[in-house]
Amino acid sequence: MSSILSAQNIVKKYAAHTALDNVSLEIPSQSIFGLLGPNGAGKTSLIRIINQITGPDSGTVLFEGQKLSPQHIENIGYLPEERGLYKKMEVGEQALYLAQLKGMPKAEAKKKLKDWFDKFDMNAWWNKKVEELSKGMQQKVQFIVTVLHEPKLLILDEPFSGFDPINANLIKNEILSLKEKGSTILFSTHNMGSVEELCDHIALINRSKKILDGPVKEIRKNHKSNTYEIEFSGNMMGFTNSLWTFGKLGEHKMDGDYCKAQVVLTPGSTANQLLESILPVAQIHSFREIIPSMNDIFISKVNAENPLGTKSNFTE
């Protein structure tokens, strides 16, 4: 799979502070790429560099193999985390203006806008001033403006914040259908649930450095700790003895003769061996491998990097 965007050894410094320290990224075409990291990690700096709002101090960004230049602006759509529209300007006029700034001819922009307004059932808003709309409505307008010119690369910074669950779902489906149509989505978020649900790839940035990247499935696979959760009826003592050398008992609890235990496989053992050894002593209700959630990986990674006392808290 070729990459639509490739950032190589990006460094960005502000006076006394390094925002990005030698960060490299490969964003594969037609994928959803999650850019994760605690607040102040450097995500916004990186996004601004990709959008050519600022330039890197060193390093290069390639768009479809070419050095990033103003001609690529038309191929990128950007939804910033802090949403903003001209409050006193009418919705339709403003959407047209922003589309034209992205290089769309007026007539084409108008036609596409009408389609989107039909789709989201918001034709009545066309002549309204932005300040007359609710926050959720403004968000919808902004989303449309971002995707209107059908960019190859769509950069969405916290796209779901401010939407109610129904509209968030609407937007999620739009994002997936844009991907189907060939767009690549760079998706910056704190919402780990949506990362697992949507992202194909992720990169984790912490304290100006990239500390992890790769396909989501692979990362989760790499971070699994060979831990299995077993629910069974039987004797806990007999269960523990039966583990032999195949596994080590972790967290466990009992409710009468109903037990739930986590077992970590010893290196070299397989799940099947473990299962075989416990079969004679326990009536098994369930047996499943515990795969860490992105949330767990995120927290453990960030906390491992950061010294004690500055632990970030990412539960959403």
Partner 1 sequence: MNKILLIIKREYLSRVRKKSFILMTILGPILMAGILVVPIWLSLQKSEKQKIEVIDESFQFSYISSKDGQRKGLIPENESVHFDYPEIKIEDARAGFYDTDYDAILYVPSNLLNSGQLGINLFYKKQLSNNVQEHIQSNMSKMIYEVMLAQNKVNMNVIKDAKDKSTFTLRTIQLDETGKDKETNTAVNVGIGFACAIAIYFLIFFYGAQVMRGVMEEKTSRIVEVILSSVKPFQLMMGKIIGVAMVGLTQFILWVILTTSIYSIAAATVLKGMDIKQVQQKEEVIRIGQNLDVNHMGKIEHNPVVDLWSKFDNVDMTEILICFVLYFLAGYLLYSALFAAIGSAVDNEAETNQFMLPVTIPLVFSFMIAQFVTQDPQGSLAFWFSMIPLTSPVVMMVRLPFGVPMWELALSISLLIGGFVATTWLAGRIYRTGILMYGKKVSWKELGKWLFYKG
Closer residue to partner 1 in complex, CB, 14/258: 14
Distance CA(293)–CA(223), nearest Å, equals 9
The candidate with the shortest Cα–Cα distance to 285, out of 315, 255, 312, 307, is 255
> Which of 9, 14, 17, 71 touches partner 1 (CB under 8 A)?
14
In one letter, which amino acid is 169?
N
Give the neighbor-by-neighbor strand order of the sheet with 258-265.
247-255, 258-265, 227-234, 282-289
Please identify which residue in the block is written with the tokens 């490299």: 24
In the complex, minimum distance from the CB of residue 102 to partner 1, in angstroms, rounded to a whole number:
5
> Rule CB under 8 A: which of 86-115 touch partner 1?
86-89, 97-98, 100-103
258 binds partner 1 (CB under 8 A): no
| Residues 226, 192 contacting (CB under 8 angstroms) | no
Q: Site for partner 1 (CB under 8 A): how many residues?
A: 31
In the complex, minimum distance from the CB of residue 155 to partner 1, in angstroms, rounded to a whole number:
8
Closer residue to partner 1 in complex, CB, 45/277: 45
20 binds partner 1 (CB under 8 A): no
> Which of 83, 129, 209, 220 touches partner 1 (CB under 8 A)?
83
Closer residue to partner 1 in complex, CB, 93/218: 93
What sign for the dihedral angle of Cα 84, 160, 175, 62? Answer: positive
Please identify which residue in the block is written with the tokens 């696979």: 221
42 binds partner 1 (CB under 8 A): no
Closer residue to partner 1 in complex, CB, 105/238: 105
DSSP state at residue 73: G
Distance CA(158)–CA(60), nearest Å, equals 25
In the complex, minimum distance from the CB of residue 288 to partner 1, in angstroms, rounded to a whole number:
45
Distance CA(95)–CA(147), nearest Å, equals 11
**One symbol per residue from 51 to 80: x for binding partner 1 (CB under 8 A), - otherwise; what is it?**
xxxxx-x------------x--x--x-x-x
> Which of 145, 153, 171, 199 touches partner 1 (CB under 8 A)?
145
85 binds partner 1 (CB under 8 A): yes
159 binds partner 1 (CB under 8 A): no
Question: How would you write 116-180 as a 3-class SS string?
Answer: HHHHCCCHHHCCCEHHHCCHHHHHHHHHHHHHCCCCCEEEEECCCCCCCHHHHHHHHHHHHHHHH
Residue ranges that bind partner 1, judged by CB under 8 A: 14-15, 48, 51-55, 57, 70, 73, 76, 78, 80, 82-89, 97-98, 100-103, 142, 145-146
